[in-house]
Structure 1
Amino acid sequence: RIDILPTLASRVKAKLGIRSPQAIAYDILYGCPGWVQALIQADYYIRSGDAKKILVIGADVLSRISDPHDRDSMIYADGAGAAIVEAVESETPVGIIGHNSRSDSMDYVNLLHMGYSYDRELAGKKDLYLKMNGRRLYQYALENVPKAIKSGLDKLKLHVNDVKKVLIHQANGKMDDAILKRLFKLYNINDIPESVMPMTISWLGNSSVATVPTLLDMVMRGKMNGHSISSGDNLVLTSVGAGMNINSVIYRMP
């Protein structure tokens, strides 16, 4: 069911023809927030001086673990996104300027898990399909994602009004809207600025780790109507997923 040897990162490195042994390749198993967490690790590597340029890839093929007899699977999709994180000199902070992560694994570890098909003929035979406790997952995300974003902003002494765009994992449109409202509510703001949160789930679905890099690419390339960004704009990249894990990155456009 799980193909982990050799790692996907090692296979990609081989296919790209990258020969340097110093270009280390490894996978990050962190659920849907995996790509954002990889950005955070890339930032640590660069700030430590151990790396100057890092390729961060987020790819998932949820069609392989989607139960066609489960309504929750209807929104799952396949996708991939990649970015090169590079060290640059700047008089003012740009790029990844801050981040925040949390893992709640005691009470919420099984909100997303592998389980059996709802097809009676297949039930109990193989736990090959992604299953979720949708109601509890919704409640968990609504309660904790806004606080995680605010904690990241607080570290930088930034206000939510300093944020141009919130790029959130495309898990559920209704849930993402509720998370955004709760985030602004933490600042006692009821009127949310228009076009602060671009969405792609209605036509691209939920591709797990690929949703945030895909969304970021489309916004940066001007492919999202009504959404544009400029130098100096602050973006929040945030995700929530299996574990349960939450993270956010504050990115300032160079």
Structure 2
Amino acid sequence: MNIKITGTGSYVPTEVVTNLDFANHKFLNEDGSNFNATNDVIAEKFVEITGIRERRYVSENLVNSDIGFIAAKNAIENANIDPETLDYIIFAHNYGDIRANTIQSDTVPSLATRVKYLLQIKNPKCVAYDILFGCPGWIEGVIQAQAYIKAGMAKKCLVIGSETLSRVVDKHDRDSMIYSDGAGAAVIEATTAEGGIIAHESATYSFEEAKYLYFGNSFNKEEDENVRYIKMYGRKIYEFALNNVPKAMATCLDQSGFQIEDVKKILIHQANEKMDEAIINRFYKLYKKDAPKDVMPMCIHKLGNSSVATVPTLYDLILKNQLENQTIEKGDVIIFASVGAGMNINAIVYQS
């Protein structure tokens, strides 16, 4: 028995927000003082560092569970399964459902339960729950689904990664330009087909790193001090990721039995283009190799950083020929990898 992804789906929001749309924002330093650069200069440097020129925001009538449902429905249809046969629905997110122009997160019932309701699944033995694991949440959900199937507790699982970060950004913080919204999903099944999940690696670093990503006050000291926004220590995250993600990927690859030359694609969390490039280069250096030119597909330039949704969305776009010059063929060895709040790291070696 092998465990494979048999169907994928995604939802890319319709509202395009370019860097020019931040021209009238009043960016401030953490202490509330004026930032010593024009917004044109901020946007120019932002593109150089992150690679992001556009991002997508959900329309005001949608919440996170809505777009997670759309991605899930697409994945179920792509897998050609009856949703009543699902044993688990695992929904990875960070902030629940936040309605437009509100400040309160809604997580009761769970977003997975809401998706099950929207799918109109009657089977009570289809267990629905959420996981909070930062940006690596979708990959962790796939690892959990694999464990259920290996243990004989499930045959089919649906794993969703969905987030609406546009609802939790501080418009006075330059980091708000990184974040976006989106959803991706996959059906995981036991199968007699070759390949599937070969090896995985997962870790939480919290002794010093727990609060590298956190909820904090607006940089504008006139804003309500009781309202919190997503915040990060970018330099610390960059250094942490560079030091730890390549090693986790290498551990996973070594466990798989495949060689570095066998890897066709690395689908890494789309957080920051320069950081991702540095991670991949350092990973290959561990094997005394140079990274192949096309090994790391990217969609961050137009979609931004949608947290848990980046990896499943990227995978879905490639499989459905919606990412230029990128394909994954049957038998290809790929690596899924992510890093995020926790600080959490994970990786999967997968043969398509």
TM-score normalised by L of structure 2? 0.69
Give aligned-pair identity as a percent.
Answer: 52
Q: After TM superposition, list the pairs within 5 Å mapping 1:25-104 onto structure 2.
A: 25-90=128-193, 92=194, 94-104=195-205
Matched length: 249
Is 2:213 aligned against 1:109? no
Looking at structure 2, the residues matched to 239 and 105 of structure 1 have their Cα atoms a distance apart, in angstroms, of: 16
Looking at structure 2, the residues matched to 75 and 182 of structure 1 have their Cα atoms a distance apart, in angstroms, of: 23
Counterpart in 1 of 2:17?
none
Counterpart in 2 of 1:244?
343
> Can you list the C-alpha shifts for 1:155-205, whole angstroms capped at 9, x where unaligned?
11222221100000001111000000000010011x321210001111100
Counterpart in 1 of 2:333?
234
Looking at structure 2, the residues matched to 160 and 2 of structure 1 have their Cα atoms a distance apart, in angstroms, of: 43
What's the offset of the Cα at 1:126?
Answer: 2.3
Q: Which of 1 and 2 has higher RCO (CA within 8 Å, sep 6+)?
A: 1
Q: Contact 1:114–1:127 at 8 Å: present in 2 too?
A: no
> Can you list the C-alpha shifts for 1:218-253, whole angstroms capped at 9, x where unaligned?
111122222112111011011100000000011111
Is 2:311 aligned against 1:212? yes
Counterpart in 2 of 1:196?
295
Give the greater-gyration-radius structure (CA).
2
- Match of 1:83, SS? strand
- Match of 1:119, SS? coil
- Which amino acid in the other structure matches residue 30 of structure 1? F
Looking at structure 2, the residues matched to 85 and 211 of structure 1 have their Cα atoms a distance apart, in angstroms, of: 18
Q: Contact 1:168–1:238 at 8 Å: present in 2 too?
A: yes
- Which amino acid in the other structure matches residue 95 of structure 1? G
- Match of 2:271, SS? coil
Given the alignment, which residue of 112, 115, 120 partners 2:221? Answer: 120
Is 2:109 aligned against 1:6? yes
CA RMSD of aligned residues (A): 1.1
Counterpart in 2 of 1:168?
268
Counterpart in 1 of 2:72?
none
- Match of 1:25, SS? strand
What's the offset of the Cα at 1:2?
Answer: 3.2
Is 2:246 aligned against 1:143? no
- Which amino acid in the other structure matches residue 44 of structure 1? A
Looking at structure 1, the residues matched to 108 and 350 of structure 2 have their Cα atoms a distance apart, in angstroms, of: 33
Counterpart in 1 of 2:284?
184
Q: Contact 2:256–2:349 at 8 Å: present in 1 too?
A: no
- Match of 2:334, SS? strand
Counterpart in 1 of 2:118?
15
- Which amino acid in the other structure matches residue 162 of structure 1? D
- Which amino acid in the other structure matches residue 59 of structure 1? S
> Can you list the C-alpha shifts for 1:119-178, whole angstroms capped at 9, x where unaligned?
1311x6124200000000000000000000000011112222211000000011110000
What's the offset of the Cα at 1:40?
Answer: 0.3
Q: Contact 2:162–2:182 at 8 Å: present in 1 too?
A: yes
> Structure 1 residues 224-233 or 30-39, which shifts more?
224-233
Unpaired stretches in structure 1, ≥5 consecutive residues: none
Q: Contact 2:203–2:345 at 8 Å: present in 1 too?
A: yes
Looking at structure 2, the residues matched to 154 and 223 of structure 1 have their Cα atoms a distance apart, in angstroms, of: 31
Looking at structure 2, the residues matched to 60 and 245 of structure 1 have their Cα atoms a distance apart, in angstroms, of: 17
Counterpart in 1 of 2:69?
none
Looking at structure 1, the residues matched to 269 and 278 of structure 2 have their Cα atoms a distance apart, in angstroms, of: 13
TM-score normalised by L of structure 1? 0.95
Unpaired stretches in structure 2, ≥5 consecutive residues: 1-103
